[in-house]
Structure 1
Amino acid sequence: MLSKEDNELITRVGPGTPMGNLMRHYWVPAMLSSELPKPDCDPVRVMLLGEKLIGFRDSTGKVGLIQNHCPHRGASLFFGRNEECGLRCVYHGWKFDVDGNCVDMPNEPDESDFKQKLKALTYPCVERGGIVWTYMGPRKTPPPLSDIEVNQLPEDEYEIFPSLCESNWLQSIEGEIDTSHAGYLHFGGIFPEEVEEGTFLHYSVKDRAPRYSVVDTEYGVMYGAYRPAQPGYQYWRIANFMFPFITQTPEGVLGKSLITNFWVPMDDYHTMAYIIVKKPKDGTVRLPIQGTSDKYPPIAAPLLPNTTDWFGRFRSVYNAANDYGIDRERQRNYDYTGIEYLPIQDRAMQESMGAIYDRTQEHLAVSDVMVIRVRRRLIAAARALAEKQVIPPGVDNPEVYRSRSGGIILPEGADWIAATKDLREKSGVLSEESRCD
């Protein structure tokens, strides 16, 4: 369990907090490019790392992320007019470009040079792979964007599933790196005899208590969870945590699978998830599992229409207000949870802990070894930055993010790290022969 002090340190992400300062050293996803569909479109409210910001696309198509309150007298720039390469506050007409420069101050005398002395807070943005990335850190020249594989693929080759989580970002991270929960929460209603022998899913439901090996990496932490496969072999699920809030889940075949999840803190109590999955050729939305079952939960959970408030983007139809759509008859007679969609099953568990779980009350076991290691790395990195100004892992080394996750069958006693090195460290876009269709 964590001490009260460490629980505060690792969960709080607002301006000036140790963990918030750590995250600001990285480029972070702010929104989808599709949320700003054309030049001079409507501005969007964006809550990010505890800051209220306004996203807008100017007349040239460039994206800006600007402070919510106009520097003049504090009116919200959400109500601004997006016109002629700037966002104009409708209170007094002051206008700001994507770099925060005041380009017009029409209620001041012509001879006034005050606009030359004024600048709004903005954060630099770049678009890559359908995501607007922003840098909120201290450097005048930002570090390079990470070489994570989704930043190298054409947008038509993968699907992005955004969703709002009403809980702290760390609860989502810890849910993703806890592989043993899948055998119950997601596969609990699936039995070995219902799945084709020799498949990953068959081995997962035949032995729901994997063993673990966990190692630190240049980008974060990697685990290998293993269980018996055919005689003389073991099935390994290999997955990653990447600084500051990225996970790669172990579904699909290692070297062929591409699943990347971003758990972006909006504030201490809300997380924006971006789940990125390789798009199959037949257009069916699914995780790239090996082995099928009619009971395997679908991933594409329905969303409510977006609203314009701070937490109105990408909200699930199934949420705490309707108990995540739980069907008790379904739970009794068909599957394990009675909750239909895989991400909603996760969210129900993570949000049911409360907005920020009190980790001084938990009792960790052997199966929590990856959770423990990730916490240690995050706390150590945040303290090293705060106390010794040590730059967090991966910030200046974008190439360390060239990694994949997935499943593989290995002989018993094999060195899993050495045996999977080439498959894990494949870089560049997915080749035709390695695509997971």
Structure 2
Amino acid sequence: MIQDPVLIKDWIAVAYAGDIADKPVKVTLLEEAIVLFRTSSGIKAFKDLCIHRGAPLSFGKVTDDCIVCPYHGWRFGSDGKCVKIPQQPPQQTIPPKAKAIVYACTEKYGIVWVNLDGSAEETGRPVPFYEEFDDPAFRTVEAPPFVLHGAGPRVVENFLDAGHLAFVHEGLLGDSNFPEIPDYHVHWKEDRYVSDEIAIYADADGSGNYATLYYTYEILRPMTARLKKVNYENQQILSILFTVLPQDERKTTVFALVSRNYALYEPDSFFRDFQQKVIEQDAFIVENQKPEELPLDLQAELHLKADRVSIAYRKWLGELGVTYGSDVRGLR
């Protein structure tokens, strides 16, 4: 496991809940192999390892709310305790050591979140808030999970960067004829960083209709951010909850919820495919950035006023003590 002192205590998105059905699913979080499985009381997360002979529980099956090891058939209940060892008589006591390692797990916004800290549910921060999900004025779609070969902080910072829209996403989110980013500021609000509205002139919806759109970025947690994009000419709002699963130092899975208050009866596939195209374009850049780690020393790279959101992100990671995917050299 990558021993990041901050991320092991944070709620991290690991899967869409709809992808956890009747079979165990393996995910990797900070190099820790985890098995997810669904029970009548919800989705559970265990270390993907049987205490008996080290077989991966994700190769097994789910029976009567228990996960069954594929090697010797040991059954583990939703609390991690072994409830059946086929090789011994039913009346024989099962050793107390026969139990799986259980991780805190919750489902919110249709996403499965895992916290590697055993005390998270009592003392940890709550899952980041995303108000549009339960707002009846909005329709939310899940963008397909996307795997990038890059560190999580690089991926999140790219999402928070308004300056690249006119070039990396020309024709989708920006226009290189209108690259200027007006000055703005970033503010601390309760438990997160929030930017001023950033005016960007671009094709509003891919139809060739240009308009000034107003972007507001929020840095919710080290691996989670939010974007709100408003077109005041027609009051259309599109919001994105963007959260990533840091599998290891160079592999990250992106989950994105895209919410809109317009075109509510149009096929969701357009918005899903649009977001997929955007992240594909981002991947080409992120996977080739150097250094691979995000420099947290603000003297390491050149910054502009247009970079205020990413500056706030780097500064906050350093203040929190995040080390995963980060170049902490130069920090005091």
Which category of TM-score, normalised to the shorter sequence, fits these structures? 0.7 to 0.9
Query: Quick one: higher RCO (CA 8 Å, sep 6+), 1 or 2?
Result: 1
Partner residue of 1:372? 311
- The TM-score normalised by the length of structure 1 is 0.60
| Equivalent pair of 1:179/1:225 in contact (CA under 8 Å) | no
Partner residue of 2:245? 264
Supply the distance in 2 between the matched residues of 1:207 and 1:147 (Cα, whole angstroms).
31
- The count of corresponding residues between Structure 1 and Structure 2 is 299
Supply the distance in 2 between the matched residues of 1:133 and 1:226 (Cα, whole angstroms).
31
Identity rate, percent: 23
Partner residue of 2:93? 113
CA displacement, residues 2-25 of structure 1 (integer Å, 9 cap, x when unaligned): xxxxxxxxxxxx44222xxx1233
Q: How does 1:86-105 map to 2 (within 5 A)?
A: 86-105=66-85
Partner residue of 1:127? 107
Q: Aligned to 2:281, which of 345, 361, 374?
A: 345
Partner residue of 1:171? 154
CA displacement, residues 359-382 of structure 1 (integer Å, 9 cap, x when unaligned): 489632213332222111111112
1:276 aligned counterpart, secondary structure: strand
Superposed displacement of residue 103, structure 1: 0.8
Q: Aligned to 1:159, which of 141, 146, 168?
A: 141
Answer yes or no: is 1:32 the counterpart of 2:16.
yes
Give the aligned CA root-mean-square deviation in angstroms. Answer: 3.2
Q: How does 1:136-151 map to 2 (within 5 A)?
A: 136-139=116-119, 141-142=121-122, 143=124, 144-150=126-132
1:78 aligned counterpart, secondary structure: helix
| Equivalent pair of 2:27/2:33 in contact (CA under 8 Å) | yes
Q: Which amino acid aligns with 1:168?
A: A
CA displacement, residues 322-354 of structure 1 (integer Å, 9 cap, x when unaligned): xxxxxxxxxxxxxxxxxxx22211111001126
CA displacement, residues 356-406 of structure 1 (integer Å, 9 cap, x when unaligned): 2474896322133322221111111127xxxxxxxxxxxxxxxxxxxxxxx
Partner residue of 1:247? 225
| Equivalent pair of 1:207/1:227 in contact (CA under 8 Å) | no
Supply the distance in 1 between the matched residues of 2:140 and 2:46 (Cα, whole angstroms).
29
Supply the distance in 2 between the matched residues of 1:355 and 1:103 (Cα, whole angstroms).
49
Superposed displacement of residue 266, structure 1: 1.8
CA displacement, residues 179-224 of structure 1 (integer Å, 9 cap, x when unaligned): 111122213x58xxxxxxxxx978x953524323122233332223
Superposed displacement of residue 73, structure 1: 1.4
Change (3 A) 1:355 1:55: farther
Answer yes or no: is 1:183 the counterpart of 2:155.
no
More displaced stretch, 128-137 vs 162-171 = 128-137
Partner residue of 1:46? 27
Answer yes or no: is 1:79 the counterpart of 2:44.
no
Superposed displacement of residue 44, structure 1: 1.1
Supply the distance in 2 between the matched residues of 1:216 and 1:343 (Cα, whole angstroms).
27
Q: Which amino acid aligns with 2:9?
A: H
Q: Which amino acid aligns with 1:82?
A: V
Supply the distance in 1 between the matched residues of 2:141 and 2:81 (Cα, whole angstroms).
36
Supply the distance in 2 between the matched residues of 1:129 and 1:110 (Cα, whole angstroms).
41
Q: Aligned to 2:188, which of 216, 220, 238?
A: 216
Superposed displacement of residue 170, structure 1: 0.7
Find the structure with the greater CA-based Rg: 1
Supply the distance in 2 between the matched residues of 1:266 and 1:28 (Cα, whole angstroms).
11
More displaced stretch, 369-378 vs 107-116 = 107-116
Q: Which amino acid aligns with 1:218?
A: E
Change (3 A) 1:136 1:257: same
Q: Which amino acid aligns with 1:382?
A: G
Superposed displacement of residue 270, structure 1: 1.4
Gaps of 5+ in 1: 1-13, 191-199, 289-297, 302-340, 384-437
Change (3 A) 1:355 1:67: farther
Q: Greater share of helix residues, 1 or 2?
A: 1
Change (3 A) 1:130 1:141: closer
- The TM-score normalised by the length of structure 2 is 0.78
Gaps of 5+ in 2: 202-211, 323-332
Supply the distance in 2 between the matched residues of 1:272 and 1:342 (Cα, whole angstroms).
15
Q: Greater share of strand residues, 1 or 2?
A: 2
Partner residue of 1:299? 274
